């Protein structure tokens, strides 16, 4: 999905560079003005599509998360990625729709949109720091600790480490980083094949990540709550101004162009 966002952005930038790089006072005389201007077929079209993408991305995510809409078919983890995709590409299309002209009430909507996108990126990072189950729900501390113990128990099933080494690695008092360093030292002396060593290192890498998340769990949960306080108001402001923009546009006689 990242590739799609990059491709669409690069493509529109390429085909519209001549127009968008022209000073505003001279754009009226550009040969493609009627195509790229905000009320032109292309400019209007990407504005409509961008607005729809944002509206649908927000609606489907809230409907699933808050009200359990299509809960059996939509995993929250993957839906979040789709939500981020739509609410990243949508604002980019709207940016091109404005033809980079920001003035009056539209500027408030634009900067609110920028704040929403930026805070969304930060929110995604915080979200990923909180361990979750397969459906995307938050795991409690006990559940996370049990998952970590299960990972360490899996080390007993192989032939990579000696019993004395395993007893040291199974010590839950060890931090993930210390266990990682100790395991690397043991693996240098191990006679196990490369595939077995790689499998063990992958398991320990996952355990180290989980241990780090456990250490920061409460902090990340608090940050996630504070993040909602920032993200939601900007989203509401943006939505409110977009609605006003559409009403004013229609009132002035600009209707659906398709």
CB 64 within 8 A of CB 70: yes
For the chain, the structural domain boundaries read 2-134+233-251, 141-215
Residue 121 is predicted with a pLDDT of: 82
Residue 145 is predicted with a pLDDT of: 65
CA 258 – CA 256 distance, rounded (Å): 6
The alpha carbon torsion through 219, 220, 224, 227 (nearest 10 deg) reads: 70
CB 196 within 8 A of CB 105: no
Give the residue carrying structure tokens 């199974």.
170
Pick the closest to residue 150 from 128, 130, 172 (CA basis): 172
CA 25 – CA 44 distance, rounded (Å): 20
Q: What letter does residue 136 receive in the DSSP assignment?
A: S
CA 75 – CA 55 distance, rounded (Å): 20
Cα-based distances in Å from 201 to 146, 174, 194: 20, 16, 10
Pick the closest to residue 203 from 166, 249, 154 (CA basis): 154
Phi, psi angles (nearest 5°) of residue 123: -60, -40
Give the residue carrying structure tokens 């995709």.
85
CB 222 within 8 A of CB 212: no
Pick the closest to residue 143 from 97, 76, 210 (CA basis): 210
Beta bridge partners of 132: 138
Structural tokens at position 121: 């990126």
CA 26 – CA 33 distance, rounded (Å): 10
List per-residue pLDDT tens for the chain, 258 residues long.
789 989 999 999 999 999 999 998 899 889 999 899 988 889 989 988 998 998 898 899 888 888 878 877 777 778 888 988 998 898 899 889 888 887 767 677 778 878 888 888 888 888 777 776 555 555 566 666 676 667 656 565 555 666 666 667 666 666 667 776 777 777 777 766 777 767 777 777 776 777 777 767 777 778 878 877 778 888 888 888 888 877 877 787 666 665
Length of the chain equals 258
């Amino acid at each position: 999905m990242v590739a799609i966002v990059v491709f669409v952005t690069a493509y529109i930038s390429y085909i519209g560079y001549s127009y968008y790089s022209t000073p505003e006072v001279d754009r009226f005389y550009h040969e493609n003005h009627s195509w790229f201007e905000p009320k032109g077929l292309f400019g209007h079209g990407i504005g409509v599509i961008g607005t729809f993408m944002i509206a649908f991305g927000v609606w489907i995510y809230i409907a699933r998360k808050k009200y359990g809409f299509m809960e059996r078919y939509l995993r929250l983890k993957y839906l979040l990625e789709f939500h981020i995709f739509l609410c990243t590409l949508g604002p980019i299309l709207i940016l091109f729709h404005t033809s980079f002209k920001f003035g009056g009430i539209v500027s408030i909507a634009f900067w609110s949109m920028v704040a929403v996108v930026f805070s969304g990126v930060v929110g995604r990072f915080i979200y990923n720091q909180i361990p979750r189950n397969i459906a995307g729900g938050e795991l409690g501390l006990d559940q996370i600790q049990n998952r970590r113990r299960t990972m360490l128990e899996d080390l007993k099933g192989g032939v990579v480490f000696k019993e004395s080494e395993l007893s040291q690695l199974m010590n839950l008092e060890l931090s993930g980083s210390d266990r990682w360093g100790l395991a690397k030292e043991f693996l240098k002396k191990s006679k196990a094949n490369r595939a077995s060593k790689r499998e063990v290192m992958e398991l320990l890498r996952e355990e180290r990540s989980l241990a780090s998340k456990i250490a920061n769990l409460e902090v990340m949960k608090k940050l996630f709550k504070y993040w909602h306080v920032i993200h939601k108001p900007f989203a509401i402001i943006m939505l409110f101004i977009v609605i006003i923009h559409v009403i004013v546009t229609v009132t002035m006689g600009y209707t659906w162009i398709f």
